[in-house]
Every structure is written in structure tokens, then in C-alpha cells.
Chain A
Amino acid sequence: MLTWFSLAPAIGQAADPTKVKAAFLYNFVKFIHWPQTNETSNEFKLCIYGEPALFELMQKIPAKSIRGQALLILDIQQPTLLQQCQLVYMRTQNYTATQFILDNLSAHPILTVSDVDTFAKSGGMIEFKQKEQKLRFEINNSAAELAGLRISSKLLELALEVY
């Protein structure tokens, strides 16, 4: 069932762009290392902010563990609630909103992903980009390092741009 997410949409990429996005989000986790904290729970919270369609899709992932933790897909409405997550995908309306959320999360080891333009340049960690009909991404590795996240060189290699 997982294959639905992992490879087929990634390779084909002609299919539903939302599906591809979902697969990317899921697969990012495999190439990123989160720091060990005392509060580390047995759950991995993947939070979606502002894109209900994506949430709907990702919820269809059968109950599954990732990195030895139970995978939890959350639809978060309040930016303040995003601090509990390990991965935050956000779709904001403007730069101010984006900055607000990023500021809110900056002290925490939380991977931030968005397809907002210049997201990576302005403090986000991974920014989706469409290139030649394919979904690609940019990475702000400095931001990730500041947050205590270690991104695999394999992933960096795949990025269109690394800041």
C-alpha cells in the first residue's frame, strides 16, 4: 500500500501533483535525522497547515511506523499548535504569515516544508519547485542545521539549490 506513495508518483510524476507532494513529504523523513530529545515521544507527527486536500490524501496512508515511531498525520489550524510536530508542511497566504510561523518554530527541531515562493531563501527548510513538469525542491541546509536537523547528503544532492 505504501508503494502508492513512495515511488510510482515520484517517477511518473505525471499523475496528481498532490500525490507526488505527499510521497515527497513521506520520503523526506527517511533522509533527515532529528536530534534525540528528552521529550522524544513514540510518535512522529507530520502536520499539515493550510492544505486540507493534502491532508485528506495523506490520511489514507495505512497506519504505519516511520523511523521506528508511529506515524501521525495531523491537520493543524492554529499556527501555535505546530510546535508539537516534527514535520510541518504549510501553505500560507503571504510572506508575513510564513515568517510568523517560521519564527514560532525556529527554536525547535522541526522540518519546515512549503511550496511558497522563496520559502527556502527566507528561512524555510525545504521549498517545493515545479521544474519541467516535475516536482523538485530547494533546501536551506543552514536553517536545518540551526534547528538541529541533519539532512542526508543524498537528499542535498537531489536539491535544485542548497542554501
Chain B
Amino acid sequence: MLLKRLNRLHIKQKLILIITASTLSGLLLMIVGLTTYQQTAYRDQMQREIRILAEVISDRSNAAILFGDTELLTENLTSMRLHQAIILACIYDEHGEVIASSAPRYRPATCPKHTAANGFYDNALHWTQPIVVDGEVMGRLYVKSHLQLLQEEYNRYLFIGLSITALAVLGSFIVALFVQRLISSPILNLAHTAKAIANNEGDNIRASKTTDDEIGEMVDAFNLMLDVIQSRERELKEHQDNLEKTVDERTRKLKIANQELEAFSYSVSHDLKAPLRALDGFSQAIIEDYGDQLDPLGQNYLNRIRSASQRMEKLIESMLYLSRIGRQNINIKEVNISHISYKVLSLLHEGDPNRDIHTEVEPDIIVDADQALIEIVLNNLIGNAWKYTLKTEKPEIEIRKEQDYFYVRDNGAGFDMTYANKLFGAFQRLHKDQEFEGTGIGLATVARIVHRHGGEIWATAEPDKGATFYVRLPKQ
């Protein structure tokens, strides 16, 4: 509790407190020591005085006690009053009977029945001195002294001691007021500097060093730290600037490359399509106009020319499509995968009504995606599944959701996982055209769409057992 409160004090107050408190404790200790010493010394002296006096008086009284001269004894005792501390003096005979006593000086007091033990007690000094004649004890002298002087002396010492302490504490407080600045002001200065830097008041702010002690060292270290931090900041900024320049450069180059690619695609779509249409159109004209002059082999060749040119046109179109996806804006909202899947499957059934295929779609698979693009993805994936199960005996397709992804599974031709890395590249085909026709663009398009959503696509398969394509789209 007290420690907490002390911790909350300002450093100034702490320093003043330390200086003042140590002065105070030192002086208090001195007072205790001095008064203790004084009391002991005073008691010793008092005891000595009283003892000597008692010895003298008892010697002076030995004849009187022998010859029964109580007047002289009383006279002797009365003379002891000259010592101001003595309040009572008594003489006892050898049987312990009181035979003389001093008249009480300060207050009425009668001699104790038996001579008391020597020492300080009952707020008085008690002293008993045997009265000896020729080595024989003939009686006793008892003296009782009050300790008023002792008390007075004690009070005086205490008063002087406390006065000195009060003055010294006041003095040390005043000195501490000035001296604490030596320590606290450089620290406060340092703290202010640190605050100014934290508040971003300028890079060139430095703490000023005013002392050559540990605080001075701290100021130096602090300034050095500032230098290091600032130089690191500069370096970091330089690196960042360089990086931005590099990025800008690359972006610019990339844009040029993209423009070139677009120009290329445009020329492909327009310039390559026209000769193909000519090829196809004229082949058709030959079949229609001169078909009867050609033998079946010739007609077959022409038909093959036509289908090849049509296929090439399709390839070109899907290639253009793929390049367009990269630039198209996407509009993401909640999309029901299950509904799209039903639609795709029903279209496929319409195209091949006689096909006996088992399909299963988990209801209400919801993802965040662009409606048009996700339709392309499902068209491709389900279309592939439909296509690659053509030669399967009991074909099955299922679309399900699991954790944060959905998948399209079939039990068709599958593929060798060794080539899985080629799966999503454009114009990469794992099957021959003769087996399953295709452009080799489909999965590339799918992958591109999924990536544009920030999602991922992967597949597992086994030849002749089927393939599963997984799609994970991030939650928006």
C-alpha cells in the first residue's frame, strides 16, 4: 500500500523524500544514542555521589550509634539534605529498628520497615550503607533519592535533540529541493525529448547532455539509438522506393505484353477466321455444286476438310474466350451451385436423351462467386464428366459439398496422376482426340476462372476408375 503510493510519487519528490528521510533517521538514531548514554552516565554519577555521601555519613555516625546519640544521628541525616536529590535518609540499629530519620523534604515519607535493596526502582534510587565500627556492623544507613533531576536532564536532552532534528530536517529539505534538480532535471529532459520524438515533432530532435554521470551516458545512448533508428528508416524508405520503381517498370512491361497479346488475339480471331470460313464455305460449295462428279473418297476428303476447319474455328473461338476471361469484370454474390448443376445436366440429357446415366446433386450448395463465370466452370466440369463416362458401363456423376469446397466426381476414364500437373494448362490433353474429342482449353478456362475468384482447383483420379475435380472458393 505504502510502497504503491511511494511508486506513484514524482522522481523529484522521491529524491527529496530520500534525502530528508535519511537525515531524519540519522538524527533520531543519534538522539536515542545520546539520551541513552546520558541517562546511563547520569545514573552512574548519581549512584556514585549518593554512595560516597552515604559512606561519609555512615562513618561519621558510627560513634554516635554506639553511644546512642540519636540527636547527632538525626543531625547527620539532616545534613544529607544538602544534596537536593535526597528525599529520605534513615538509620537502623543492628536489629533493624529505626533510630533516626531525616524529616521528609518534599513530601511526607517514612522509613521502610526493612532496609530496601540497592538500585533504581519505584522511581527512586535506593541505597543502604552498613555502619561499621572496628569491622563490625553496628547499624545501617538507608538513603532514598528522587529521579526528578534525571527526568529533567532527560527532557532537556530530548528537547535539544528534537529541536536540532527539526532544524536539520528543514535544512536538508531545502538542500534537497535544490540538489534533486541535479538528478531529476536531466531525466525529465530526456523524457520530454522522447515524447517530442514520439509525437513526430521532428527528426533532428536530440536530448541535451548536461551531466557526465550515468544519466549523461543514458542521454548519449538515447541519442545514438535515435541516430540508428533514423538511418534504418532512411534505408527502408530507399528500398521501398526502389521496389516501387521496379514494380512500376514491370507493370508497364506487362501492360505492353498484354496489349500485344490482345492485338494478336484480335488478329487471330478476325484474320484467321476469314480464311477458315473461306475454306469451309468453298468446300461446302464443291460438295453441293460438284458433289455428283466426285467419287465417295473425294467427297469424304472434302467432308474431312470441312470438319477440320470447323474444329479449328472452335479452337480459335475458345482461345479468344479464354483471353477475354482474364479481362472481364467479376461480380461476386451468393450462387447456388446445385441449381446450376441441375440446369447443366438437363441440357446434357436433352442433347443425348437415350443415355442411361446416374446423376446425383447435393441440394443447396451455396458459394460466393460470379454467376456467369461459375456457370462456365460447371459446364466444363460436368461436361467433362459426361464426356469421359461415355464408354463406362454404369456411368455415374455426383456433385457434392464437403467442408469449404465442392467437387464433381465421375467413374469414367480418369487419368494417370503422373500428368496431373499438365491438367490445367491450355492445349494440354491427357486423352487422344480419337478417344474423346475436345479443344484442350476447357480446364484451362476453369482454372483461370477459379483463380480469378482467389480460389483453388485440384483433381484426383485413377485411369478407368474415374476423376474428381475439387473447387474451393473463398467466402467473401
B139 partner, pick from A7, A27, A155, beta carbons under 8 A: A7
The reply to whether B93 and A154 form a contact with Cβ atoms under 8 Å apart is no
B63 partner, pick from A2, A3, A31, A134, beta carbons under 8 A: A31
User: Whose C-beta in chain B lies nearest to the C-beta of A20?
Assistant: B68
Of A7, A13, A31, A154, most B-chain CB atoms within 10 Å: A7
Given contacts A11-B99, A157-B72, contact A27 B94 (CB under 8 A): no
Of B64, B65, B67, B94, most A-chain CB atoms within 10 Å: B67
Kindly supply a per-residue 1/0 record for chain A positions 12-34, scoring 1 wherever the CB is within 8 Å of any chain B CB and 0 otherwise. 11000000000010010011000
The reply to whether A158 and B134 form a contact with Cβ atoms under 8 Å apart is no
Given contacts A30-B133, A30-B134, A158-B72, contact A7 B63 (CB under 8 A): no
The reply to whether A158 and B63 form a contact with Cβ atoms under 8 Å apart is yes
User: Whose C-beta in chain B lies nearest to the C-beta of A156?
Assistant: B63
Q: Decide if A152 is an interface residue (CB 8 Å cutoff).
A: yes
The reply to whether B94 and A158 form a contact with Cβ atoms under 8 Å apart is no
The reply to whether B68 and A13 form a contact with Cβ atoms under 8 Å apart is yes
Closest approach, in angstroms, between the C-beta of B162 and any C-beta of chain A? 52
User: Whose C-beta in chain A lies nearest to the C-beta of B68?
Assistant: A10
User: Whose C-beta in chain A lies nearest to the C-beta of B94?
Assistant: A7
In B41-77, the 8 Å CB interface with A consists of: 60, 62-70, 72
Distance, CA A158 to CA B75, complexed state (A): 12
Point out the residues of chain B lying under 8 angstroms from A67, CB to CB.
134
Q: Decide if B138 is an interface residue (CB 8 Å cutoff).
A: yes
A154 partner, pick from B63, B70, B94, B138, beta carbons under 8 A: B63
The reply to whether A7 and B65 form a contact with Cβ atoms under 8 Å apart is yes
The reply to whether A6 and B68 form a contact with Cβ atoms under 8 Å apart is no
The reply to whether A154 and B60 form a contact with Cβ atoms under 8 Å apart is yes
Point out the residues of chain B lying under 8 angstroms from A2, CB to CB.
136
The reply to whether B72 and A7 form a contact with Cβ atoms under 8 Å apart is no
Point out the residues of chain A lying under 8 angstroms from B63, CB to CB.
31, 152, 154-155, 157-158
Point out the residues of chain B lying under 8 angstroms from A134, CB to CB.
68
A contacts with B, residue count (CB < 8 A): 20
Point out the residues of chain B lying under 8 angstroms from A6, CB to CB.
66, 94, 136, 138
Distance, CA A21 to CA B94, complexed state (A): 19
B93 partner, pick from A11, A157, A158, beta carbons under 8 A: A11
In B133-179, the 8 Å CB interface with A consists of: 133-134, 136, 138-139
The reply to whether A154 and B68 form a contact with Cβ atoms under 8 Å apart is no
Distance, CA A10 to CA B136, complexed state (A): 16
The reply to whether A10 and B133 form a contact with Cβ atoms under 8 Å apart is no
Closest approach, in angstroms, between the C-beta of B73 and any C-beta of chain A? 10
The reply to whether A7 and B93 form a contact with Cβ atoms under 8 Å apart is yes
Of A30, A134, A154, most B-chain CB atoms within 10 Å: A154
Point out the residues of chain A lying under 8 angstroms from B138, CB to CB.
6-7
Kindly supply a per-residue 1/0 record for chain A positions 122-155, scoring 1 wherever the CB is within 8 Å of any chain B CB and 0 otherwise. 0000000000001000000000000000001011
User: Whose C-beta in chain A lies nearest to the C-beta of B133?
Assistant: A30
Closest approach, in angstroms, between the C-beta of B57 and any C-beta of chain A? 12
Point out the residues of chain A lying under 8 angstroms from B93, CB to CB.
7-8, 11
Closest approach, in angstroms, between the C-beta of A111 and any C-beta of chain B? 15
Point out the residues of chain A lying under 8 angstroms from B70, CB to CB.
11
Kindly supply a per-residue 1/0 record for chain B positions 61-105, scoring 1 wherever the CB is within 8 Å of any chain A CB and 0 otherwise. 011111111101000000000000000000001110001000000
Distance, CA A3 to CA B97, complexed state (A): 14
Point out the residues of chain A lying under 8 angstroms from B134, CB to CB.
30, 67
Closest approach, in angstroms, between the C-beta of A71 and any C-beta of chain B? 12
The 6 A-B pairs with the shortest beta carbon distances in the complex, nearest first, are A154-B63, A10-B68, A11-B68, A27-B66, A158-B69, A158-B67
B contact set with A: CB distance below 8 Å = 60, 62-70, 72, 93-95, 99, 133-134, 136, 138-139
Q: List 18 A-B contacts (CB under 8 A).
A: A3-B94, A6-B66, A6-B94, A6-B138, A7-B65, A7-B93, A7-B138, A7-B139, A8-B93, A8-B95, A11-B99, A12-B68, A13-B68, A30-B133, A67-B134, A154-B63, A157-B64, A158-B64
Contacts A7-B65, A11-B68, A152-B63 aside, 4 further interface pairs with beta carbons under 8 A come to A11-B70, A11-B99, A13-B68, A154-B60
